[in-house]
Structure 1
Amino acid sequence: MKLSGLWPALLTPLTEDGAIDHPALAALVEDLVRRRVDGVVPLGSTGEFTEFNATERRAILETVVAAVDHRVPVLAGVSGLSTADTCDHSRIAAEAGADAVLALPPMYWKVSDDRIFDHFVSVADAAGRPVVVYDFPSMTAQPLTPALLQKLAIEEPRVIGAKLTVRDVVAVTAALAATRPHRPDFSIVTGFEDLIPAAMWAGADGAISGMANVIPDELVALVNALEEGKPDSAGHHRAVMADFDVYGLSAPAIPGIKAAAAALGRIPRAHWRLDAGPEASVLDAAAAWAAARKPSNQRKDAA
């Protein structure tokens, strides 16, 4: 499996009582696959992975795998507080049919690079699938250093790449410099849409994107244009950046993204696990945000 192109970090639609809305999740996956995304990522940060127990995680993954039906790869988020938790989730992901797993480092305690390396080796052992390591230091306070990424690239072939949700493109270039001379096939993708052009011009392979739940066509067009070296990539980036304020609809961003997706008709409702649903002010802001979008951003059949 090659991690490249545009991979939506899937929202997890919920019913009014907070249960997983499996038909809505399957419909979201179907729509994204038809729009030519390169893979899907359930149970990442955008998918509220912290809020679901093991049984729910398995059910979410089974729904996504069935909806994908082998058309694109499924990269399953498996992160947990501890290595043991993450390994348990990795085994569940493998049993559910995921093609690869996405894992954060151990959370809460700050530990050494050697300890994090062992963590990812254990995850690879448990999953029996390729592993993508997930660097999100603003949430974990535990950055994946270039030296650690280099060691993984050299010594652990089951780790196939890294998702870097970092604000500094220098971190992306440092990761590329640390890994590519040793593993030309080691994938680096960004988790922030505003950095996609800079990251890909530096040599990164694409993006895992929360915004892809609401503006998939624009992001697919941007990543494809950059991969193909088309001169119109700047225009596609401007189109994406015109919608980047979706992240400002709420804090944290997930309720606002869900509210925007619901306002565009991409999911039925904006409920999320941390409370019954976004506040009325968030719903109003999302409705105004959606109303201001160009018609091409509204839900439509893929070409």
Structure 2
Amino acid sequence: MLKHNFRGIIPPVSTIFNDQGELDQAGMGKVIDFLIEAGVDGLFFLGTGGEFSQMTEAERKEVASFATEYVAGRVPVLIGTGSANTREVVSLTQHAKEVKADGAVIINPYYWPLTEENLFKHYATVAEAVDIPILLYNFPTLTGQDLSPDFVAKLVKAYPNIVGIKETVDTAGHIREMIIKVKGENPNFSVLAGFDDHLLNTLSLGGDGAISASANYAPEFQIELYKAYMSGDMKTALDIQRRLAYLPLMYKLDSPFVSVIKEAMRLRGQQVSNYVLPPANLLSEAKIQEVKAILEKAGLM
């Protein structure tokens, strides 16, 4: 396996835009500095919350270039390079390597449900084209297709540069099986929770951390939980987990939920633009108050 260190808390960073929908470099820089100063273990750009699906290939490459250059090696950088189009994934992943990203995170193609043979060939084509560490991204609610532990095990056996997975599944059993079947055979394979409230059970099952949205606006929650668990302080870990459990409620307030994350960031003091790319829209004042109420229940305001 390629050398990598993808564990701990890796926020899926929100992309900051100006009111014309262009990358706001100053705003992005503020967010990056805030998260690194909070003590995160890496940064993941152009994930679901990074609005990659609303961007052109050129816009995605612009974000990837800026992010890697601005982070400048302070923490590992992951770039989301997934698409419904295999050729585009190859192009974006090659670009991620060119800008010296530490790894690429690749969600499976959406729109078409693929046969297992076609899905395997998709990932094989990318893994053979680029010798950069690759993390799979399993989000069946949005892609319509699950990356099963058996399928992932086959891929990892064939392609050692596939080094981890972001498990955005609301099922502890799926995460457990991924850890047993894939990480059990490949101890350096990273299994990272995609949902905030699955961090503790992922760690307790032998996983490695989380790439989940609340780290954008409450990084200290996940960082403290991770440190508490790793040091054996289960009381603190459980206390934080109970507060974390409120946060996924806010993602139901709007779809896409990207505007929810940006409003939570602003409510907690980050001075950044809340512009989101259509078809997402700004939250109504009533929904902003609901976000505030959930943050209050979690003890974050």
- How big is the shift at 1:200? 1.1
Task: Tell whether 2:68 aligns with 1:68.
Answer: no
Amino acid at match of 2:153: Q
**Is the 8 Å Cα contact of residues 21 and 275 (structure 2) preserved in structure 1?**
yes
Q: Which residue, 226, 229, 233 being the options, matches 1:226?
A: 229
- Secondary structure, counterpart of 2:5 in structure 1: coil
* C-alpha distance 209-267 of structure 1, shift in aligned 2 (>3 A): farther
**Is the 8 Å Cα contact of residues 13 and 268 (structure 1) preserved in structure 2?**
yes
- Secondary structure, counterpart of 2:126 in structure 1: helix
Task: Tell whether 2:275 aligns with 1:265.
Answer: no
Which residue in 2 is equivalent to 1:279?
284
Amino acid at match of 1:255: S
Distance, in Å, in 2 between the alignment partners of 1:221 and 1:69 is: 25
- How big is the shift at 1:174? 1.1
* C-alpha distance 227-264 of structure 1, shift in aligned 2 (>3 A): same
* C-alpha distance 13-251 of structure 1, shift in aligned 2 (>3 A): same
**Is the 8 Å Cα contact of residues 196 and 247 (structure 2) preserved in structure 1?**
no
- How big is the shift at 1:283? 3.3
**Is the 8 Å Cα contact of residues 246 and 297 (structure 2) preserved in structure 1?**
no
* C-alpha distance 239-116 of structure 1, shift in aligned 2 (>3 A): same
TM-score (ref. length: structure 2) = 0.92
Which residue in 2 is equivalent to 1:255?
259
- How big is the shift at 1:262? 1.9
- How big is the shift at 1:47? 0.4
- Secondary structure, counterpart of 1:109 in structure 2: coil
Task: Tell whether 2:177 aligns with 1:174.
Answer: yes
Matches within 5 A, 1:203-218: 203-218=206-221
**Is the 8 Å Cα contact of residues 131 and 160 (structure 1) preserved in structure 2?**
yes
Q: Which residue, 37, 41, 54 being the options, matches 1:38?
A: 41
Distance, in Å, in 2 between the alignment partners of 1:193 and 1:110 is: 27
Point out the more displaced range, 107-116 or 136-145: 107-116
Which residue in 2 is equivalent to 1:143?
146
Deviation per CA, 1:198-227, whole angstroms, max 9, x where unpaired?
Answer: 111111111001111110111111112222
* C-alpha distance 185-291 of structure 1, shift in aligned 2 (>3 A): closer
- Secondary structure, counterpart of 2:21 in structure 1: coil
- How big is the shift at 1:38? 0.5
Task: Tell whether 2:112 aligns with 1:109.
Answer: yes
Task: Tell whether 2:131 aligns with 1:133.
Answer: no
Point out the more displaced range, 237-246 or 42-51: 237-246
* C-alpha distance 244-105 of structure 1, shift in aligned 2 (>3 A): closer
Paired residues, number: 296
Which residue in 1 is equivalent to 2:243?
239
Aligned-residue CA RMSD (Å): 1.9
**Is the 8 Å Cα contact of residues 101 and 127 (structure 1) preserved in structure 2?**
no
Gaps of 5+ in 2: none
Deviation per CA, 1:194-253, whole angstroms, max 9, x where unpaired?
Answer: 111111111111100111111011111111222232222111212322444332332332
Point out the more displaced range, 206-215 or 83-92: 83-92
Distance, in Å, in 2 between the alignment partners of 1:27 and 1:220 is: 19
Distance, in Å, in 1 between the alignment partners of 2:94 and 2:171 is: 33
Q: Which residue, 3, 24, 27 being the options, matches 1:24?
A: 27
Amino acid at match of 2:262: K
Task: Tell whether 2:120 aligns with 1:87.
Answer: no
